[in-house]
Structure 1
Amino acid sequence: MSKNFLLQKNCWLLLLLILFACKDKDEVRVLRLGHGLSADHSVHKAMVFMAERLEEKSSGKLQLKIYPSEQLGAERECLEMLQFGSLAMTKVSAAVMESFAEEYKVMGLPYLFESKAHAFKVLDGEIGKEILQSGEKYWLKGLGFYDSGYRSFYTKDRPINTPSDLEGMKVRVMKSNTAIEMVQAMGGSPTPISWGELYTALQSGVVDAAENNPPSFYLSRHYEVCKYYSIDQHTQVPDVFLISQIIWNKLSEEEQQWVQEAADESVERQRVLWEESEQEAMEAVKAAGVEINYPEKSPFQEEVQSVYEDFRENEKLYSLIQRIKAVQ
């Protein structure tokens, strides 16, 4: 056998090894996931769990790289990156999704859900699937709903016992028309401010109050400024876990199945973690000197009926509200 032949043979073997190595490398797809919450939050922990499950299901072919704490931008910025396909996944409040798909508007209605069990039955059922799918035409595919608990008011100078206590008070709200209308109906002055700027806004007096769930109140350290937490539980706005429709379309059916299954499992995990974090947060803010009160809900429920009336003109959304209320 000639030396030239052996040399050619060895070259071909080396080339094949390189090609196979490149093929293995190309088969590993890394999906970037950006969100605005801290690494201590139950949502982030659930996403880490999803990354582990996705890697297991795909034998390492699909991996998640997670960027918490607004490293890649605020919620709206992350959504826009999903629309362009420059970011694979994100988590945003359903309130933020209002600007992209109107079906999400109903999620922010005050006192929409009778209980947490009622909310989960809606979100995990056919209605929830319809709402998640409503963003697909805007390149935002919903994968599931994370628990975000009940939102209540926290204030700097006095507790909120009745809606009249909100009069003359500047209340930070999300950039959501539904949230704005709700606070206006209760007599407050709604002021949309991004989450990352809220601590300074409270501290400097740009706003007098805000509203959110216990873990967010605690992990944001807003309790250092606001010493009153009034548990009126006016809304139960879920968090939405989304993937770019552009990225989704590039995945094979098998890869799509892996992603959806891992997302479903992360939702289950997050809801357990949420309950634990909610209890921990309440205990922590109490220990920090926050005064917690539980106002009667009925006066607040009466004041916000006008928000529901505004939906009568939109037949599709009003019908959706009635369907949600009919779920048993």
Structure 2
Amino acid sequence: MKEDRGMKKRLTALTLALLLGLSVLLTACGGSAKGSAASSATASKEHPMILTLAHNQAENHPVHKALVRFADQVNERTDGRIVVKIYPNGQLGSENENLEQLQAGVVAMAKVSAPNLATYNDGYNTFGLPYIFNDQADYYRVMDSQQMDDFFMSSADDGFLTMTYYDSGSRSFYTKGKAIRTPSDLDGLKIRVQDMAVQTDMMKALGGTPVTMSYGDVYTSLQTGIIDGSENNVTALTTGKHGEVAKYYSVDEHEMIPDALVMSSKVWSTLSAEDQAAVKAAAKASTEYQKELWAEATEKAVEQARQEMGVTFVYDVDKAAFQAATAPMIQTYEDKYPGVKRLMQSIEQVREAN
């Protein structure tokens, strides 16, 4: 036990050392304190306030392109007094590391998958739950609502605020040997899921065997039979080349997990009210742009998977059976996490209003 505690202390010390080193690096690049105005009130075009933004997507991804649009809009709306400096491709670490850096004041902003924020605010567990959105139209209606924006901006005490969301599509099952039309079709199948408790719980509720692994290991694991299938949006078939191995994509659309553009609440407080409005407007504009890019990418992926990879898209899925199988799980999360229950109530309020 003493050895374990000693190891934890050494790892903690190493993490802090790395963060300090990263802070120095960003400062040298003009991404943090030196070279940046301390607040938007003291910023000028000649001496701007620099906001570092970290994410793990490639530069050809729709989200990165939307973030570039966001940075351009912030620059334009503030007359160059605020500059967003983007670090893509996981240059500054994983999403969880980026969130730690944001909490530590090393970076100002980050793009992360929304459920990763549940570590700091339990309401974000909601976004990993299955079937909380009826379809894409319902998803957009809820995510663009005032109720959702109120939730996004309610986490200042948790160290962050969500400026906007980005669409990462609907997630469905894709498999090697057979199509998935009902939960019983998952019996005995090993399905890769993300390292998130909510996805593991979902697979158990549906009768499959969850296997957590990194996205980069999925292709080989499908080839070798370590897993029988996976779940993701349709672009995984093409960008990850999973469609070369998994020939059935069953459109059950069990999850629609948004990405979140988050900002340190401490940094947010250094912006004037006018500049806060400018940043929010730029963020919302970038979301509308990303929706267009995502629709194009999805359409292209479906066509390529069909024509070039021979993937069969299965639409006669019994969604009602999947919803019934996962309903007790959703109730468990509402009972366990007060934030989930409140956000689910807000989602229902949006539907009632429409």
TM-score over 0.5 (shorter chain): yes
The correspondence for 1:130, drawn from 142, 150, 165, is 150
3-state SS, counterpart of residue 250 of structure 1: coil
Of 123, 140, 147 in structure 1, the residue corresponding to residue 160 of structure 2 is 140
State the distance in 2 between where 1:97 and 1:156 align. Answer: 33
- Describe the superposition over 1:35-67 as per-residue Cα deviations: whole angstroms up to 9, x where unpaired: 122222211111111122122122222222222
Give the distance between the partners of 2:206 and 2:196, measured in 1 at CA.
16
Question: Which letter maps to 1:192?
Answer: T
Cα drift, residue 223 of structure 1: 2.3
Query: Relative to structure 2, which stretch is displaced further, 242-251 or 184-193?
Result: 242-251
Contact 1:152 1:233 in 2 (8 A): yes
**Contact 2:128–2:255, Cα closer than 8 Å, also in 1:** yes
* Structure 2 counterpart of 1:50: 70
Letter in 1 for 2:259: D
- Assess, with a 3 A threshold, how the Cα gap between structure 1 residues 312 and 240 changes in structure 2: closer, same or farther: closer
Distance change >3 Å, CA 80–CA 204, structure 1 → 2: farther
Picking from 321, 324, 327, the partner of 2:344 is 321
Q: How does 1:241-320 map to 2 (within 5 A)?
A: 241-287=261-307, 288-294=309-315, 295-314=317-336, 317-320=340-343
Q: Which residue of 1 aligns with 2:117?
A: 97
Out of 58, 61, 64, the residue aligned to residue 84 of structure 2 is: 64
Q: CA deviation at 1:144?
A: 0.9
Cα distance, 1:199 vs structure 2: 4.0
What is the alpha-carbon distance in structure 2 between the residues aligned to residue 215 and residue 271 of structure 1? Answer: 15
Which amino acid is 1:289 matched to?
A: G
8 A contact 1:50–1:263 mirrored in 2: yes
Cα distance, 1:234 vs structure 2: 0.8
In structure 1, the residue matched to 2:36 is none
Structure whose alpha-carbon radius of gyration is higher = 1
1:4 corresponds in structure 2 to: none
Match of 1:6 in 2: none
| Aligned-partner Cα distance in 2 for 1:90–1:217 | 26
Q: Show the 5 A alignment for 1:105-254.
A: 105-254=125-274
**Secondary structure at the counterpart of residue 226 of structure 1:** coil
Q: Which moved more, 1:45-54 or 1:129-138?
A: 129-138
- 2:124 is matched by which residue type in structure 1? Y
Deviation at 1:219, TM superposition (A): 2.3
Could you tell me how far 1:275 is from its partner in structure 2?
1.3
- 8 A contact 1:145–1:267 mirrored in 2: yes
The letter of the residue matching 1:320 is L
Deviations 1:149-196 (A, max 9, x none): 211012233322221222222222223222221111101122333334
Query: Is the Cα contact below 8 Å between 1:84 and 1:246 reproduced in 2?
Result: no
1:237 to partner: Cα distance: 1.5
Question: Measured at CA, do residues 69 and 199 of structure 1 come closer, stay the same or move farther in structure 2, by a change above 3 Å?
Answer: farther
Q: 1:251 to 1:305 in 2, by over 3 A?
A: same
Distance 1:281 1:60, change over 3 A: same
Uncovered stretches (5+) of structure 2, i.e. residues with no partner = 1-42
Q: For residues 222 and 38 of structure 1, do their structure 2 counterparts lie closer, same or farther at Cα, with a shift above 3 Å needed?
A: farther
Q: TM-score, normalised by structure 1?
A: 0.84
Gaps of 5+ in 1: 1-22
Cα deviation for residue 82 of structure 1 reads: 1.1
CA distance in 1, matches of 2:236, 2:155: 26
Q: 1:65 to 1:167 in 2, by over 3 A?
A: same
Structure 1: distance between partners of 2:220 and 2:55:
21
Identify if the C-alpha distance between structure 1 residues 241 and 312 changes in structure 2 by more than 3 Å, giving closer, same or farther: closer
Structure 2 contact 148–346 (Cα < 8 Å) conserved:
no
Q: For the structure 1 residues 160 and 85, does the alpha-carbon distance in structure 2 shift closer, same or farther, using more than 3 Å as the test?
A: same
How far apart, in 2, do the equivalents of 1:198 and 1:289 lie? 19
1:9 aligns with: none
Change (3 A) 1:53 1:318: closer
CA distance in 1, matches of 2:102, 2:310: 41
| CA distance, structure 1, for counterparts of residue 207 and residue 108 of structure 2 | 40
Q: 1:132 to 1:175 in 2, by over 3 A?
A: farther
Are the counterparts in 2 of residues 170 and 208 from structure 1 also a CA contact under 8 Å?
Answer: yes
